[in-house]
Amino acid sequence: MGITKEDLVDADILDAEELASTGVLAIVTGIPLTSTTSGTKRVVVNSPSYDIRRDVERLEAGNRVVLVGTTGADGAYTIAVVVDEQTFDVVEAIPSSTGGTFSAYHPVGAAKVGVDASAISNVTSNNVQGALQELGSAIDAVSSGDFDSIVTDDNTRDVLVDDNLGHVLVNL
């Protein structure tokens, strides 16, 4: 028996925007908040026109949210679970507060792409983002420390390695 539409869950599928995400372009911005509650780590949205679960860019576990203008919970948090169309819980401790707005961001797409590190020296990470960071540390340890990751305007990820003999640009 094959996979049916009911078997698919949005959180299990990476779309192009999520995969290309650098973690800096917002999914949504300026969405009003009602409150945050410290005991439950709950955030309540105050926007009947914005449905967390059904909007084109729905929010999901792992998305980063930044709260501003609250009465004490300003900061960055990670969504743990979407409770309903106007409520989500966060992973981190959050103070109780009222008011403010939030913006939401996909995590870095390369962190969601798996990699088999068994054939790569100096890498133990199981995702591309971690592997790049580990390779960067390994290169820094044996070179002049000139390892940079550059995110260009078209969201391509380039890695520039300076090995004191010349520069190598790798497009990922």
At 121, is the secondary structure helix, strand, or coil?
coil
Residue 163 predicted with pLDDT over 50 = no
Instruction: Give ranges for CATH 2.40.30.180 in the chain.
Output: 5-107
Q: pLDDT per residue over 40-98, tens digit each?
A: 999 999 988 788 877 556 788 888 899 999 999 999 999 999 999 899 999 999 999 99
Q: pLDDT per residue over 83-134, tens digit each?
A: 998 999 999 999 999 999 999 887 765 555 666 777 677 778 776 767 777 7
Architecture of domain 5-107: Beta Barrel (2.40)
Q: Kindly provide the b/e burial profile for residues 19-45, where b requires at least 16 CB atoms within 10 angstroms of the residue's own CB.
A: ebbbeeeebbeebebebbbeeebbbeb
Banded model confidence at residue 19, pLDDT cuts 50, 70, 90:
low
Closest listed residue to residue 94, CA positions, set 68, 76, 120? 76
Please provide the average confidence, as pLDDT, over all residues in the chain.
Answer: 74
Banded model confidence at residue 166, pLDDT cuts 50, 70, 90:
very low
Place of tokens 């078209």: 154
